[in-house]
Amino acid sequence: MDVVVVIAIIAGLFIVLGVAEPLAGRLRLPYTVILALIGIVIGLLASFFLRTELTDALNPVANAILDFPIRSNVFLYVFLPTLLFQVTLGMNLRRMADDWVPILVLAVVAVFFSTLVVGYTLSLVSGMELVACLLLAAIVSTTDPSAVVSIFRSIAAPRRLARIIEGESLMNDAAAIALFGLLMGFVMQGVPDPTWTGALLRFPGLIFGGAAVGFLLARATVFVMSFFDRYEAAQVSLSVALPYLAYIAAEQMLGASGVIAVVASGMTMTVAAPGAISPTSWNNMREVWTLLSHWAGGLIFVLAALLIPRLLQDVTLLDIGLILVVAGAALAARAVILFGLLPLLTLVRLSPAVERPYRTAILWGGLRGAVTLVLALAVTESLRVPEETRRMIGILATGYTLFTLIVQGSSLRWVISKLRLDRLSPLDAALAKQVIAVALQAVREEVSETTKNYDISHDIARSEAKSFGERLDGAVKEAENSEDVLDRDRITLGLVALASAERDIVLERLKERAVSSRLGDRILSDVDRLVEAARQSGRFGYRRAARQAVGLNLSFRIAVRLFNRARISAPLGRLTADRFEVLLLQGLVLRDLDGFIDRRIRRIHGRRVAELLHELLARRAEMVEQALDGLRLQYPGYAEELERRFIRRTALRLEKREYDELLEEGLIGVELHTDLMHRLARRMAREDRRPALDIVLQKAEIARQFPLFSELDDATLQRLSKALITRYASEGDMILSHASVPETVYFIASGAVELRTRGVSYRLGRGELFGQLAMLTKSARKTEVRAIAPSTLLALDERRFRRLLRRSTALQDAVRESAEKRGIKVPYLDELQEQREVKSSGKRTKSPGWTETREEDSHDGHGKEERR
């Protein structure tokens, strides 16, 4: 085909893409439905002009359209990697991880279940071979979430719900395509006869092999990109090459799943790239990929739809009946998952609750799209597949895709309207009236000030003020006549607004590079949890999410265990430095939120709600400060260096703003501005490198700050620091329970704990200890200890604690005081007291350091002289 014709057709396709989106908005139909309809119409018109005798002038154009050189391998190798890679770049993987159970259930479990249900149903009804029916079922199991997600966003559905649907679609495509590749070998002729056992054994290799290829290539790409700080176009170019290389390497070199490789590479890039390249480059890269995905998604729909008339040209009434059977079985299988399995997972707290109307919308919104058409096309083009199987899969898959697009897609918005998902709740409707009244009052004040500043005619200003006043009076009257909003609901809405404002501030701080871009995803995930928790559970959910943001995650706990037991410090050093940055930013953001409460929330929700929000913020600030105190205590120099680095980065940001303003005002030229920006970029690059953290804990310095260790000399403190084991506890963590063995004493370096024994509670704070009484009395533990704030603890085993106790009179006094407070007799302390009195009278001397005599050791049951 002539290159001019090809270019003309491609240009026409881009015109279609440009027209389809506004048309979809005007007709209130999903964008993909409009694209598919346009493609079908173009295909039908091309076929019509070839067959009609009305004119032959358009025959060359019609031939060019119908014979356009595009096959299934073009879709699979060109368009599919683009779509999958962009979806992963736009995902918040940390928030996806919170919902991994429903995502995997709706994706992987639903794909296999739907494949079995549709395959067996079609085999029973049609009498065709089961394996061919299963192959068709795998093809039609992929879903296109774009329609339902776009509608959910337009009606302000819970963000978590849209995220689950997007995650389901991504994993759904990967699972269905991997299953398609597995089943394809059973219907192809001229290849070695496969066995189900061999296929199932090969399946893990498809998945894990593809994941390994994607991960390794993505890590290599990010490593190379990190050296191209000043070459943003080069970084974007490398990212464009990555998904295609991953797909080809997995498919052609290892025989693994190319789709899994692309998904793994995208996820790895999403996690690793923000820490290796600048925030501007990362944002621009995502914008480029959004545009590429928009083009690829549109083109794949239009080009695949062009083939629909050809695929359906031999359709019969029996085929139409089978299409309806496939549609019914697919809907039934999806309904079982949504209304059977998903509520069961909610009952066992493995999945968030999804209300019935939303589940109904998800069921009806499970449209099939381009991926289904491409897989069906791949089967029809394979000469190794029997002709009857090719015909059956081509017609049924294409017909079912049309059914979902035309029947379900065109009626989806109507279904959502009938489910009343597009209407404000009574609470939101009442609040909206009050928000409008408050906003109009603020607008009137600003407009009045503007008319004075610009010296506008008094008559004009008075006339417009009168018109605006009438509107304001009507809004105030509606707000007064609306149903009362309970304080509890006002608090919930206030918290949602507060968390949303926090997200805006965090985004602004990230743009200003006040924190490492690598941590941006984690920080935004924490804020998103605040928004969703406040919306679902009010102040209790907000507090829970706030504690989780300050607390220690699983990876941090594993790193602590690795350091304490195996002395592997690298993971703990990195995560501790991350924790420093996150807590510092949280503290800065919380200070800004107080002003937002007074400026905005107080005017809408009143003084009582504002005071309560101030109180919640104060508690959060206290938690953050306690956690920071614990880190500053362990790494005082590092905390100071991070704060200095923050000031330097702020100064560089302000310097850049000054240069930009000078350029805009014409006070400096472009050449000078470019030179200044290059110098500034070099300094910013140096400040982006976080200072190294020496994770070898400065326990001697910590111990020196304990009043209990005030009597110890430097040599003893050094030996003590090597014996102390650091343990971190989040708020609510159980540190000691009734069943634990009394063999460890804990010193509180920072934070606070609550000790409960015999129905009485005691609160202990920084500088105090616990666990010593049960150890010294050798009695069964009747006490439990739980952290009531993020805490840093220093643990000492029994043998070393007894040595320390003999050495320190201050420690003996502290243990005796705690025992008297709880009415516990400790004979061992009396023995130590007697020994101290004997020594003070000069009848006995004590060896220096940690060396003790045989007689002293006999009191703690060792019976041998111990030296250290």
Q: What is the pLDDT of residues 96-136, one digit of tens each?
A: 766 777 777 777 788 888 899 999 999 888 888 888 899 98
Answer whether residue 376 shows pLDDT above 60.
yes
b/e 696-708 (16+ beta carbons within 10 angstroms → b)? ebbbbebbeebeb
CB crowding 819-838: b at 16 or more within 10 Å, else e? beeeeeebebbeebeebeee
User: Given this model, what pLDDT does residue 852 score?
Assistant: 39
With cut-offs at 50, 70 and 90, classify the pLDDT of residue 328.
very high
Q: Is the pLDDT of residue 263 over 60?
A: yes
Read off the pLDDT of each residue in 697-704 and give the average, rounded to a whole number: 60
Tell me the pLDDT band of 514, cut-offs 50, 70 and 90. low
In this prediction, residue 865 has a pLDDT band, given cuts at 50, 70 and 90, of very low
Rounded CA gap, 358 and 354, in Å? 7
Asked if pLDDT for residue 686 goes beyond 90, the answer is no
Measured from the Cβ of residue 257, the count of other Cβ atoms closer than 10 Å reads 30
DSSP sequence for 707-732: GGGTT--HHHHHHHHHH-EEEEE-TT
Higher pLDDT, 50 or 771: 771
H or E stretch including 764?
strand 760-764
CB 279 within 8 A of CB 232: no
Q: In Å, what is the CA distance from 613 to each residue of 23, 318, 494, 497, 526?
A: 45, 65, 8, 11, 18
Predicted pLDDT of residue 312:
76
DSSP 613-672: HHHHHHHHHHHHHHHHHHHHHH-HHHHHHHHHHHHHHHHHHHHHHHHHHHHHTTSS-HHH
Q: Is the CB of residue 742 less than 8 Å from the CB of residue 771?
A: yes
Q: Can you say whether the dihedral through the CA atoms of 804, 808, 809, 811 is positive or negative?
A: negative
Q: Specify the residue for token string 């996690």.
A: 271
- Which residue matches tokens 């993987």? 93
Are residues 181 and 139 in contact, defined by beta-carbon separation less than 8 angstroms? no
To which H or E segment does residue 222 belong?
A: helix 196-225
Question: What's the confidence (pLDDT) of residue 243?
Answer: 92
* Residue 75 DSSP code: I
Q: Tell me the sheet residues that pair with 748.
A: 793
Confidence of residue 851 (pLDDT cuts 50, 70, 90): very low
Q: Which of 632, 594, 644, 638 is nearest to 616 (CA)?
A: 594
For the segment 52-67, the average pLDDT, to the nearest whole number, is: 71
Query: What number is the average pLDDT over the span 744-758?
Result: 81
Q: Is the pLDDT of residue 868 over 50?
A: no
pLDDT value at position 777? 73
d(CA 44, CA 342) in angstroms, rounded, equals 42
Rounded to whole angstroms, the Cα distance separating 221 from 215 reads 10
Tokens of 81: 């990697």
Confidence bin at 854 (pLDDT 50/70/90): very low
Bridging pattern class, strands 753-757 and 783-787? antiparallel
CA pair distance 466, 451, nearest whole angstrom? 14
Residue with the bigger pLDDT between 94 and 519: it is 519
Question: Quick one: DSSP state of residue 90?
Answer: T
Across the chain, mean pLDDT equals 77
**3-state DSSP call for residue 69?**
coil
Predicted confidence band at 147 (pLDDT cuts at 50, 70, 90)? low
Q: Which two tokens stand for residue 357?
A: 């109307």
Backbone phi and psi for residue 32, each to the nearest 5 degrees, phi listed first? -65, -35
- Arithmetic mean of pLDDT, 178-194: 73
Q: Residue 242: pLDDT above 90?
A: yes
What is the C-alpha separation between 63 and 361, in angstroms, rounded? 41
Residue 640: exposure state from Cβ atoms within 10 A (0-12, 13-18, ≥19) = exposed
Cα(200)–Cα(203) distance, integer angstroms: 5
CA atoms within 13 A on the CB side of 391: 9
Q: Name the amino acid, one letter, at 23.
A: L
How buried is residue 606: exposed, middle or buried, by Cβ count under 10 Å (0-12/13-18/19+)?
A: middle
CA-to-CA distance for 520 and 510, rounded, in angstroms? 7
Residue 92 or 6, more confident: 6
As a dihedral over the C-alpha atoms of residue 17, residue 18, residue 19, residue 23, rounded to 10 degrees, the angle is 90
pLDDT at 844: 46
| Alpha carbon separation from 105 to 111, 168, 216, 341, 577 (Å, rounded) | 9, 8, 27, 8, 36
- Residue 660's pLDDT is 85
CB-based burial of residue 510 (10 Å sphere; 0-12 exposed, 13-18 middle, 19+ buried)?
Answer: buried
For the record, the structure tokens of 363 come out as: 């069921």
DSSP state letter for 754? E
**Strand, helix or coil at 352?**
coil
Angstrom distance (rounded) from CA 627 to CA 624: 5
Q: 350 pLDDT exceeds 60?
A: yes
Does the pLDDT of residue 275 top 80, yes or no? no
Residues recorded for the chain? 868
Is the predicted pLDDT of residue 23 greater than 80, yes or no? yes
pLDDT (tens digit, 9 = 90+) per residue, 450-505? 777 776 777 777 777 777 777 777 776 765 555 556 777 778 878 888 888 888 88
CA angle 297–301–302, rounded 5-degree value: 120
Does 69 score more than 70 pLDDT?
no
Which one is predicted more confidently, 714 or 315? 315
pLDDT attached to residue 245: 93
| pLDDT surpasses 60 at 699 | no
Question: Residue 755: beta bridge partners?
Answer: 762, 785
81 CB neighbour count, 10 Å cutoff: 25
| Mean pLDDT (whole number) for 48-74 | 72
pLDDT at 438: 67
Output the pLDDT for position 681.
Answer: 78
**pLDDT at residue number 850:** 40
Token digits for 398?
Answer: 């294409």
CA distance 202 to 186: 14
On the question of pLDDT at 848 being above 60, the answer is no
Distance CA 773, CA 759 (A): 17
Q: Tell me the C-alpha distance between 577 and 588, whole Å.
A: 17
Q: Are 267 and 1 in contact (CB under 8 A)?
A: no
pLDDT at 1: 58
Residue 862: which pLDDT band, with cuts at 50, 70 and 90?
very low
Amino acid at 22: P
Cα dihedral 99, 101, 107, 113, rounded to 10, equals -160
Strands (DSSP E) along 21-149, which ranges?
A: none
Contact 789, 730 (CB under 8 A): no
Asked if 798 contacts 776 with a C-beta cutoff of 8 angstroms, the reply is no
pLDDT computed for residue 661 by the predictor: 86
The confidence score (pLDDT) of residue 94 equals 67
Pairing of strands 734-736, 725-729: unpaired
Q: Can you name the residues that pair with 496 across neighbouring β-strands?
A: none
How confident is the model at residue 499, as a pLDDT? 83
CA-to-CA distance for 128 and 395, rounded, in angstroms?
Answer: 14
Distance, in Å, from the CA atom of 674 to the CA atom of 548, rounded to the nearest integer, reads 44
What is the DSSP code string of 555-601? Answer: HHHHHHHHHHHH---HHHHHHHHHHHHHHHHHHHHHHHHHHHIIIII
pLDDT tens digit string along 647-684? 887 788 788 888 888 888 888 888 888 888 888 877 87
Question: What is the mean predicted confidence (pLDDT) over 583-605?
Answer: 81
Buried b / exposed e over 139-160, threshold 16 CB at 10 Å, is: bbbbbbbbbbbebbeeeebbbb
Both tokens of 202, joined, read: 């090969």
- For residue 49, the surrounding DSSP H or E stretch is helix 31-51
Sheet holding 725-729, edge to edge: 725-729, 791-797, 744-750, 769-770
CA angle 568, 753, 707 (to 5 degrees): 80
| Radius of gyration (C-alpha) of the chain in whole angstroms | 34
Give the integer Cα–Cα distance in Å for 522 and 531: 15
The residue type of 129 is E
pTM for the structure as a whole? 0.66
If one compares 554 and 155, the residue with the highest pLDDT of the two is 554
Q: If you average pLDDT over residues 59-64, what whole number do you get?
A: 74
Separation CA 138–CA 140 (nearest Å): 6
* Per-residue model confidence (pLDDT) at position 489: 75
Say if residues 473 and 441 touch (Cβ distance below 8 Å).
no
